[in-house]
Amino acid sequence: MLEDQTTADNPTPWPAAYPEGYAVVDVETTGLARDDRIVSAAVYQLDARGQVEDHWYTLVNPERDPGPVWIHGLTTAVLSGAPLFPEIADEFAKRLEGRVLVAHNAAFDWSMIAREYARARATAPVRQRLCTIALSKELQLPLPNHKLESLAAHYGVVQQRAHHALDDARVLAEAFRPSLHLAARADLRLPLLACQPLTEWSDGPATPRTSGYIGHQRSYGSSNSWRPSRKRPACPYPNPGRYKEGEQLIQGMRVAFSGDTSIDRELLEDRAIEAGLHIATSVSRLTSVLVTNDPDSPTTKTTKARSFGTPVIDEAVFVQLLSHVVPAPGGQQG
């Protein structure tokens, strides 16, 4: 049911069930693993109709190597004087409290935020999240892919500093507002998901990393690269079979990717390998699951997946599943 609030100033009828406020969030991190940390965070507070009320930004000292400097631009020197996460946790919480967390690939941002709060022996005051990738799909926006830059371009929002948390949050806030109004006009149910506090997190010593790169090219083969060589080690676990919808990923499952991802593809692959999954470069009858944000595209992988009956999930679901990969049966290694 729509509220009767259509006026010259508020031309869009508004669903009564919609949230009363939003916190549009972006975090930059040292990577995607469970022991990775936040290096910067930004929040744009929006009212019920998506108008900006306030914004906030902070650097965070991750107490470790900053990871992919070529992506977020934050070096050890820049972060050395920044506050630790427990020192900004209360202020961060004030920006989130009573609001729906909105992010582009919200499962990732929420998992990183929740783990930081768990390490700080606290809980983020967030009950629901909204992923703008999921909302774009619900609205059937004609986007070429699900990157933030594509959503921004669709609405004519100019991105000034990609992978800077404050600018990414601004861009997302400006792109979320018209999406929210489109949803309201259609009386669309928003794709809200519950935010469960995480109790599974890592506080152990991180593997030493350096942000080695050559110009703007990543130096994967170099001994000082923060990531392992692109030549992947063999997965130590046997393939347990196909992924089943509604269940968890299991160590040893063969995962293939197709098309663009909003998170750097190689970072996704690294995290999957760390979780005990096998990265497949092609789709076969043995593939456990195909990850793609565009399942209807006629690529070789999606075509084969359809012919083999291979399960297909999108990136947001995959990132969420990566947080809870089930150990191989009996701890078996191949």
- pLDDT tens for each residue of the chain, 334 residues long: 334 344 445 567 899 999 999 999 999 999 877 778 999 999 999 999 999 999 999 999 999 999 889 889 999 999 999 999 999 999 999 999 999 999 998 888 998 999 999 999 999 999 999 999 889 989 999 988 778 999 999 999 999 998 899 999 999 999 999 999 999 999 999 999 888 776 555 555 444 443 332 222 222 222 333 344 456 678 999 999 999 988 899 999 999 999 877 676 777 888 888 889 999 999 999 999 999 988 888 889 999 999 999 999 988 888 878 878 899 887 666 5
CA angle in degrees (0–180, nearest 5) for 151-22-247: 75
Nearest to 69 by CA among 218, 287, 186: 218
Record the pTM.
Answer: 0.69
- Does residue 79 contact residue 59 with C-beta atoms inside 8 Å? yes
Tell me how far apart the alpha carbons of residues 160 and 201 are, in angstroms, rounded to a whole number: 34
DSSP secondary structure string for all residues of 103-169? ETTHHHHHHHHHHHHHHTT------EEEEHHHHHHHHT---SSS-HHHHHHHTTPPPSSTT-HHHHH
176 backbone dihedrals φ, ψ, rounded to 5°: -70, -35
Beta pairing partners, 293: none
> Cα 132 to chain center, whole Å?
10
Residue given tokens 């830059």 in the structure block: 149
Length of the chain: 334
How far from each other are the two terminal CA atoms of the chain, in whole angstroms?
Answer: 56
DSSP structure class, residue 16: T
Beta pairing partners, 21: 47
57 backbone dihedrals φ, ψ, rounded to 5°: -150, 145
Tell me how far apart the alpha carbons of residues 264 and 52 are, in angstroms, rounded to a whole number: 29
- Does residue 80 contact residue 51 with C-beta atoms inside 8 Å? no
- Does residue 65 contact residue 30 with C-beta atoms inside 8 Å? yes
